[in-house]
Amino acid sequence: MKVTSRSLMMTGAMAAATAIVLAGCSAAEPEAPQFEGSLTVWVDADRAGVLEDIATQFEEERGVTVELVTKEFCAIRDDFITQAPTGNGPDIIVGAHDWLGKLVQNGVVAPLELGDKAAEFQEVAVTAMSYEGQNYGLPYSVENIAMLRNVDLVSEVPATFDDLIAAGEASGAEYPFLVGLDPNAADPYHLYPLQASFGAPVFEITADGTYDPTALALGNEGGEAFAVKLAEWGAAGILNTNISGDIAREEFVAGKSPFFLTGPWNLPAIQEAGINYSIDPIPSAGGETASPFVGVQGFFISARSENTLAANEFLVNYIGTEAVQTALYEVGGRAPALLTAFEAAKSNADVAAFGEVGAEGNPMPNVPAMDVVWSDWGSTEVAIINGQGDPVELWRAMVASIQSKIDG
């Protein structure tokens, strides 16, 4: 039920009137307008625990109740888009930066002014949270993939991807290199750094580091060179679409490969298995920097929120503090977006190493057209890796298909 300050005041007024009529007493003294509403925040279960403490503190200091509603992380975006326009949505949601385009397209998020505080966050995080020059979210974590190396199998950091494969083959392990793919959709996210090293981002990157959603860059020469390489790697068995993320992790944990291209989420299993690992930059396959996608998570304010002031205060001055960012990092294992918290978290060598790789990365595009891109991109990579046609022709067909869908 939508509880607005106005409706609450009216409720209060009507209740007071009823009470007066019933009790026959005189009217209460007029009081200064006191805020009686609350902030509703949609969070996932992992984040909820941390926010509970800060919510209590906010309530004590600011007199505004924060109501935490726990939801499945992946359901938050769609539920929010459906519910916000009805006025029944929350004031704040937790989310990922690549949702932003869709949220803005649907008009459900309000711009958020970080003010001078913007400089206190990692630059990539703030860039990721902005769309068409306007900032919309308060970032709390950044994450990206990097190359994990089994030090017992290969002791040197390879300079290029070809060196990596050569080293992998020389190590005598079952697989020279592992990355989790899918038989139907490959994994453009994990393969992106290799693609980027050929100079083929998804969209053209403008001077301020954001994407130009009208200029598809996938189809440039670099993209086609990457497609040829994909076919080569597929034929050589270096990439195998039957190795899913789970299988890749299992095989790496079993010591069957010296290299594993993955993110921090697989570290716990690897540490548990006692693998002697090192986190390295992703070697370039095409000559340029192999920059991974950087995913940023943060909080957004609803455009339909009636409590924007309280919501702003809660995000910028409470969630944007070092203590909270550090606490969020501790439950999620993702590097904090706030610089001071990030510096502190860097005492963990893994965070520092992933962060170093991520510094080379670009935010995953947050334009709404990405929904269209992922699907065609993945299916085409599968076809190329499995040798179902000429790689360059398949790649061109994909670019044409994506372009026609974007043009509508």
Partner 1 sequence: MSIPPSVTAAAAPPPAPAGTLRASRRPSSLRGTLITIGVLSVIDAIAVFGLFMLFLQESWIPFGVVLAVTVIVNWIYLRPGWLPAKYLTPGLLFLAVFQIFVVVYSGYIAFTNYGDGRNGTKDDAIETILLTAQQRVPDSPAYRLTVLDQFGEYFFLVTDPEGEVLLGSADQPLAPVSGFGTDSTGRADSLPGFTTLTFGDLLGNQAAITELAVPLSDDPNDGALRTPDGSNAYLYLSTLSYDAATDTFTDTTGTVFRDGGDGAFVSDAGRELIPGWTITVGFDNFVTAFTTDNIRGPLISVTIWTFAFAILSVATTFALGLFLAIVFNKPTMRGKKVYRLIMILPYAFPGFLSGLVWLGLFNQDFGYINQVLFGGASIPWLTDPWLAKFSVLFVNLWLGFPYMFLICTGALQSIPEELTEAATVDGAKPWAVFRLIKFPLLLVSVAPLLISSFAFNFNNFNIIYMLTGGGPRDVTAGVDAGATDILITLVYKVAFGEGTGRDYGLASAFAILIFFIVATVSIISFRQTKVLEELN
76-105 positions binding partner 1, by CB under 8 A: 81-82, 85, 87, 102, 104-105
Name the one range near partner 1 by CB under 8 A: 51-59, 155-163, 350-358, 386-394. 386-394
- Which residues fall within 8 angstroms of residue 86, CB to CB, at 6 or more apart? none
Q: Which residues between 293 and 322 bind partner 1 (CB under 8 A)? A: 303-304, 306-310, 312-313, 316-317
Sequence letter at residue 81: I
User: How near is the Cβ of 306 to partner 1 at its closest, in Å?
Assistant: 6
8 Å CB contact between 61 and 333: no
Cα–Cα–Cα angle for 346, 351, 357, rounded to 5 degrees? 110
User: How near is the Cβ of 33 to partner 1 at its closest, in Å?
Assistant: 3
Name the one range near partner 1 by CB under 8 A: 119-127, 215-223, 279-287, 392-400. 392-400
> Which one among 63, 268, 287, 387 touches partner 1, defined by CB under 8 A?
63
Sequence letter at residue 238: I
In this structure, what token pair is assigned to residue 51?
């926010």
- Of 64 and 92, CB closest to partner 1: 64
8 Å CB contact between 71 and 356: no
Name the one range near partner 1 by CB under 8 A: 156-164, 170-178, 221-229, 237-245. 237-245
- 355 in helix, strand or coil? helix
- Of 253 and 351, CB closest to partner 1: 253
Q: How far apart are CA 407 and CA 402, in angstroms?
A: 9
User: How near is the Cβ of 381 to partner 1 at its closest, in Å?
Assistant: 9
Q: Which residues between 179 and 218 bind partner 1 (CB under 8 A)? A: 183-185
User: How near is the Cβ of 197 to partner 1 at its closest, in Å?
Assistant: 23
Sequence letter at residue 52: E
User: How near is the Cβ of 357 to partner 1 at its closest, in Å?
Assistant: 29
Give the bridge partners for 302, in sequence order: 109
Q: Which residues between 102 and 161 bind partner 1 (CB under 8 A)? A: 102, 104-108, 110-113, 115-116, 133-134
Q: Is residue 35 involved in binding partner 1 (CB under 8 A)?
A: yes
Cα–Cα–Cα angle for 64, 93, 378, rounded to 5 degrees? 170
- Of 178 and 353, CB closest to partner 1: 178
Name the one range near partner 1 by CB under 8 A: 92-100, 278-286, 287-295, 388-396. 388-396
- Of 144 and 302, CB closest to partner 1: 302
Q: Is residue 66 involved in binding partner 1 (CB under 8 A)?
A: no
Give the bridge partners for 43, in sequence order: 70
Q: Which residues between 239 and 298 bind partner 1 (CB under 8 A)? A: 240-244, 247
Nearest to 139 by CA among 306, 341, 302, 309: 341
8 Å CB contact between 190 and 147: no
- Of 357 and 383, CB closest to partner 1: 383
Q: How far apart are CA 156 and CA 154, in angstroms?
A: 6
Q: How far apart are CA 184 and CA 193, in angstroms?
A: 20
Q: Is residue 7 involved in binding partner 1 (CB under 8 A)?
A: yes
Q: How far apart are CA 212 and CA 367, in angstroms?
A: 9
Tokens 């339909």 found at: 304
Q: Is residue 397 involved in binding partner 1 (CB under 8 A)?
A: yes
- Of 181 and 261, CB closest to partner 1: 181
